[in-house]
């Protein structure tokens, strides 16, 4: 089946810089997308989500952009801090409830914050 993937397995940025983590999806029927942060040895934590009727959504220091034309999702983290170091996963859900087995997850990008 179609799956969500990520362009870069590891991303290293300087503390204070902005980070952009990318995600490609291939199922045009997906209507909901979500980003998770997973610290080592812990369960994934929700960061932000977006529905397909939007192209941008902002949270605290994070912005998710959705480009349905090219099936691309990105997570922007502003002014990165050491605590942002983690693996970031994107996930999608098929519309309207076609994702009977829940969300489909990408493999993740490891974000490393350099001091």
Partner 1 sequence: DGGITQSPKYLFRKEGQNVTLSCEQNLNHDAMYWYRQDPGQGLRLIYYSQIVNDFQKGDIAEGYSVSREKKESFPLTVTSAQKNPTAFYLCASQLAIGSYEQYFGPGTRLTVT
Q: Which residues bind partner 1 (CB under 8 A)?
A: 31-32, 34, 36, 41-46, 49, 51, 89, 91, 93, 95-97, 99-103, 105-108
Shortest separation between residue 91's beta carbon and partner 1, angstroms: 8
Q: What are phi and psi of 82, to 5 degrees?
A: -55, -35
Smaller CB separation from partner 1, 90 or 113 = 90
Task: Output the smallest distance, CB 107 to partner 1, in A.
Answer: 4
DSSP string for residues in 17-44: S-EEEEEE---TTEEEEEEEEE-TTS--
How many CA atoms lie less than 13 Å away from 8 in the CB half-sphere?
12
CB of 66 to partner 1, least distance (A): 13
Q: Would you state the structure tokens that stand for residue 15, as one six-digit string?
A: 């503390």
Min separation Cβ 16 and partner 1, Å? 27
């Amino acid at each position: 089946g179609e799956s969500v993937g990520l362009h870069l397995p590891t991303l290293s940025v300087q503390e204070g810089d902005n980070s952009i983590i990318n995600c490609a999806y291939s199922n045009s029927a997906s209507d909901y997308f979500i980003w998770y942060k997973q610290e080592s040895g812990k369960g994934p934590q929700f960061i932000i989500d977006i529905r397909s009727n939007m192209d941008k959504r902002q949270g605290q220091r994070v912005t998710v952009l959705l480009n349905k034309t090219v099936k691309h999702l990105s997570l922007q983290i502003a002014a990165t801090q050491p605590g942002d170091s983690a693996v970031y996963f994107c996930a999608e859900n098929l519309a309207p409830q076609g994702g009977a087995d829940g969300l489909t997850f990408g493999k993740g990008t490891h974000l490393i914050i350099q001091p």
